[in-house]
Amino acid sequence: MRSLGSVLLAATLASLLPQTAAAQTRLSAEELQQRAIERRAVEAVNWGIPVVNFDRMYQAASGAGADFNQIVYWSGLFDWKNQTLTPNPDTIYFKPFFDTRDAGPMVLEIPPAGDTGSITGTIMDVWQAALEDVGPAGVDKGKGGRYLILPPGYTQTSPDGYIVLPSSTYEGFALLRSVLKSGDAAGVKQAVDYGLAGIKLYPLSQAADPPATRFVDVLGKEFDSTIHYDLSFFESLDRIVQYEPWLPRDKVMVDLLKSIGIEKGKPFDPDANTTEILEAAIAEARAWLDLRYETVFEPYFEGAHWAIPAAPGLVETSATFYETPNTYPIDARAVTDYWAFSTVKHLGAGQFYLMSTKDKDGRPLDGNRTYKLTVPADAPVTQYWSAVVYDRATHALIREVPSPSKSSQTVGLHTNADGAVDLYFGPKAPAGKESNWIPTKPGGRFEVLFRLYGPEKPLFEKTWILPDIEETRS
């Protein structure tokens, strides 16, 4: 005999069934399909932004006349025309792009550090997961070395004398910074010459007689690798899906991408209706990324607005290629690749970053206003520090704005009697402060990335503290 409770429960469920069925029939089959495409497209953006970020960089390199297994570089300190995500204008960049699919294992030679120069950098796969750091903070410990990048599934025995880096993808790149000994013209030239003479990229198959490495100078050219949040995002994603092997960790995305028109062996050719849905989805995904960008990073100094611009735990998991048991931080990874174009294997060994988008009072940094940042004396670095201003909307250098940064090596930088340095951000230089002024542009927000190269203990022990940026009327 059924209890009174079970009878009442059955009656309640029965009363809900017609309502549930009615709710289901409010959406047509076409509407359900459209909603599925939009939902899955949002997740495709969140998951795929690292490889789209990479593809945008390669497109910029290709547009400048470079190809895979060549090195793009800037033969001087660049200006706003370098439209990569949060680049550093106070160093010399070398960016090798490699592809092992046809060429086989590739050798990247890093020169030894010494009086003539030093490299700080990282080699990454197409997901921008660090294969390894190079230079004094990397595996070679400043002695230089030949890094051997292996293609997926490579089983042959590697020869002796190489630092072997198995990669799960064919394509990838390295971000190599040739560190300035000084910020004057002679120091810049020395850093450029050191990189050109010592960095080499060639196939292992030609190691007995390596061909000359092709360097492509892009200084003065517009190099726009910012992410475009339109249909081209999915076109870049499709190119990588077609070219690279599926990784076991990512096979859950096979059917999700198929539902938005991205499938191995088939062209990506959405009709007008699907295109409209995808572009609406990517606008939503960008808004979601932007929201998390403002909220996910934790303050580095207590009560301050400077933060390490990477979600907690991301560096540790990316350093293991996102294979850590019970975690796959695609949300944190997406936010990082929303504003940056590289990762490191060992955070804090060669460089350390602090980002701020707000002033001391918690208000967004406004390009119409003037601000002051006091960098305390005895900054804990063995090399140098720099402060760079970026457009908050694009995370690239502000267009048409000269002199986007200042560093401890900037020629003519004024230092206070106590060793501190006052930096100013604003649309106009405060009277008498021109040497320490970084211009902004009215009508938009900006953000400041503070870099420390060769960071030392006082930074990590927080006995040296970078104060917040303050609005000033002086």
- Does the pLDDT of residue 306 top 90, yes or no? yes
In this structure, the answer to whether residues 44 and 89 fall within a common structural domain is no
In this structure, the answer to whether residues 269 and 301 fall within a common structural domain is no
DSSP string, 416-429: -TTS-EEEEEESSP
Which tens digit of pLDDT belongs to each residue from 235-263? 999 999 999 999 999 999 999 999 999 99
Considering only CA atoms, which of 138, 229, 122 is closest in space to residue 176?
Answer: 122
In this structure, the answer to whether residues 387 and 414 fall within a common structural domain is yes
Which tens digit of pLDDT belongs to each residue from 122-154? 999 999 999 999 999 899 999 999 999 999 999
Residue 16 domain-assigned? Answer: no
CATH code assigned at 426: 2.60.120.600
Q: Which two tokens stand for residue 473?
A: 């009327």
Q: Which of 203, 220, 237 is the last residue of a domain?
A: 220
Residue with tokens 């294969």, as numbered in its chain: 131
The boundaries of the domain holding residue 253 are 32-52+227-292
- Residue 134: which residues within 8 A CB-CB, separation 6 or more? 108, 110, 119, 120, 121, 122, 123, 140, 145, 147, 174, 176
- pLDDT value of residue 325: 81
Which tens digit of pLDDT belongs to each residue from 362-389? 999 999 999 999 999 999 999 899 999 9
Which tens digit of pLDDT belongs to each residue from 148-204? 999 999 999 999 999 999 999 999 999 999 999 999 999 999 999 999 999 999 999
In this structure, the answer to whether residues 148 and 195 fall within a common structural domain is yes
Number of domains in the chain: 3
Q: Are 205 and 31 in contact (CB under 8 A)?
A: no
Write down the pTM of the prediction: 0.89
Which tens digit of pLDDT belongs to each residue from 199-235? 999 999 999 999 999 999 999 999 999 999 999 999 9
- Does the pLDDT of residue 93 top 70, yes or no? yes
Q: Which two tokens stand for residue 9?
A: 């429960």
- Does the pLDDT of residue 340 top 80, yes or no? yes
List of long-range contacts for 288-291, beta carbons under 8 Å, 24+ apart: 288/42, 288/46, 289/45, 289/46, 289/49, 289/334, 289/335, 289/338, 290/338
CATH code assigned at 39: 1.10.3360.10
In this structure, the answer to whether residues 420 and 457 fall within a common structural domain is yes
